[in-house]
Structure 1
């Protein structure tokens, strides 16, 4: 979420106008609280919008609820259903680059292989990789119903978790 200086200035201005009708002591308290709130918008923008809707506003949302953003365009072929792909991935809980990374083929320097659309992976992966071109890299956000649902996985991914992945389609086999 981007907070502009104009938004902060408007917040302070509106607070000043509202404080005009208060007595001196109340006005000082009101203005200092308004200024503190404005600083918190800049210092902690993630808190400014509690529901996080604007955090990923540059992502595309599919009909299923999968969200993605292409970070590197691919130039190769798009896999056919049932075709085996080779990919790199890193997965997080609670957002990209959070300290809650749960797995990474990149860290192992060992690409992962699976058949697209064959149910070998979570539905969010089948959907995303089925629409990617070789060489493409994406950030994808997978809602629970396209991930591990309420059951979670392996004691690492809790039930109801939204999953965040950086994925790259390396090739078709």
Structure 2
């Protein structure tokens, strides 16, 4: 019994010495047998990638003809995302977290004005991490399930694109159209 008291006193002295001369009362410590609480690990912030991310091996353009711009026959723009497979791919499926390489052409629905095209940029594919908010929500939702080798058309309403602020030649509240060729997933 005397040995236990001596060990307890030595342990108490050691703990007090380690804590310093704090005048504040010590916080109560949980019992040694209580499990430690898990702490949340912060989710890393993934910045929007500009230029060429390096992890993707060199990707060649699809070799498919540049899509033709078509104006709608109706003045009424859809209020929900429209996804249409123009050609179904047979390769790997795009999944969240994977680096994707695509050829694409985008235009404003109402007047057919092209605002961007990899074909016009010398055929250099665009690369992004799928599902990491590096592209508009219309792409993250509309490319789900697409396979390499496929060509897909997306008609994207403003709330899934650039909303009421627009972007470059995309005006506020524009519905935009894309034709996207999925070239590679890594």
TM-score for both structures, normalised by structure 1:
0.60
More helix by share: 1
Structure 1 runs of 4+ aligned residues shifted over 4 Å read none
Q: Is the 8 A contact 2:85 2:153 kept in 1?
A: yes
CA contact (8 A) 1:93 1:164 kept: yes
| Equivalent of 1:128 in 138, 142, 161 | 142
- CA–CA distance in 2 between the matches of 1:95 and 1:75? 33
CA RMSD of aligned residues (A): 2.2
**Aligned residue for 1:140?**
154
Aligned to 2:23: none
Report the equivalent of 2:185.
Answer: 172
What residue is the counterpart of 1:117 in the other structure? 131
| 1:163 and 2:169 correspond | no
For the pair shown, which has the larger CA radius of gyration, 1 or 2?
2
Q: Give CA deviations for 1:89-140 in whole Å, capped at 9, x if unaligned.
A: 00001259x2x00100122201000001100010001112232111110111
The Cα shift of 1:50 comes to 4.8
Distance in 1 between residues matched to 2:183 and 2:132, nearest whole Å = 19
Structure 2 CA distance for aligned equivalents of residues 117 and 52 of structure 1: 26
The answer as to 2:66 corresponding to 1:51 is no
| Gap runs ≥5 in structure 1 | 1-44, 54-63
Count of paired positions:
114
